[in-house]
Amino acid sequence: MKTKTVLLMISAVVTMIMLFANGSVSADAPSDPIQITEQKQESQTFHCRWPQAVGLPNEATQKKVNRQIHDAAFALYRKSEKDIKEGKKAENPENKKYVEWRKAFPRFEWRYDVESTVTYNKNGILSLVFDQSFSSNMQAHPVNAVRAITFDLSNGKTVKLKNWFQPKSAYESRLNSLMKNVLQANKDETPLLIHSLDDFKGIETKQEYYLTDKELVIFYQRYRYTPGAAGPLVIPIAYDHFTDILRVKL
């Protein structure tokens, strides 16, 4: 009996080690919601608000989390820096490429907007969404993007979608089926660029997602499956549909 008990205890410990070593939430993560403050940058060109974690027990982890939050909030801006440099060149009267543009616009103007939302903050997990927009008077319309990031607060690492699921659980197939059900149920409300759901590819290698209290939310950027005016394709899936293959309870 003692041997059997010891084996069961060892098995439980090994299971926990495997769970936390594979990129899911660590046993050292805080269980209560952490304190969040708002950071902002307001100027003629920047209109940005993003959260900052405070009060984490490990200062190095807190700095790591906040650095990644800042980087995620300004991801679209970094991609737009080339356009900003080009716009500044266009102001130069000697730049013949933009003669006609200068007749309409005396100078180059641009703006970067970020609005952030904390969607999940408990059980040592922090999930956030960033709505980003870059616009300038050299563009026909703004460039918009949605970014999301989910943290294990015990170590400051981001958690990939696959790490929430048990090994060999075929989670992609389960989620793909559930997502098609959602799309089918909302087909009259969600304009899609694909001709049929057979063209929906489902979970991608670097799938973007975020967590809420009740749902896993899978999303795809504008033009992947939806026209630009419709915004990104957002597909919420209730945890109840796949709790049996999760590594941890969400």
Q: Which residues contact 89 (CB under 8 A, 6 or more apart)?
A: 95, 98
Q: Domain limits of the chain?
A: 33-151, 160-250
Question: What span, in angstroms and rounded, lies between the C-alpha atoms of 216 and 211?
Answer: 5
Three-class SS state of 118: strand
Q: How high is the pLDDT of residue 106?
A: 84
* Amino acid (1-letter code) at residue 102: R
Q: Which fold has domain 160-250?
A: Actin; Chain A, domain 4 (3.90.640)
Per-residue b or e along 101-117, where b marks 16 or more CB atoms closer than 10 Å to that residue's CB = eeeeeeebebebbbebe
The CATH code for residues 33-151 is 3.30.565.40
Q: How high is the pLDDT of residue 9?
A: 38
Q: How high is the pLDDT of residue 249?
A: 87
pTM: 0.85
Q: How high is the pLDDT of residue 69?
A: 98
Question: Can 33-151 and 160-250 be said to share one CATH topology?
Answer: no
Positions in the chain whose pLDDT score sits under 50 = 1-23
Q: How high is the pLDDT of residue 5?
A: 40
Residue-level length of the chain: 250
Q: How high is the pLDDT of residue 28?
A: 59
Three-class SS state of 10: helix
Phi, psi (degrees; rounded to nearest 5) at 196: -155, 165
Please say whether the beta carbons of 250 and 240 come within 8 A. Answer: no
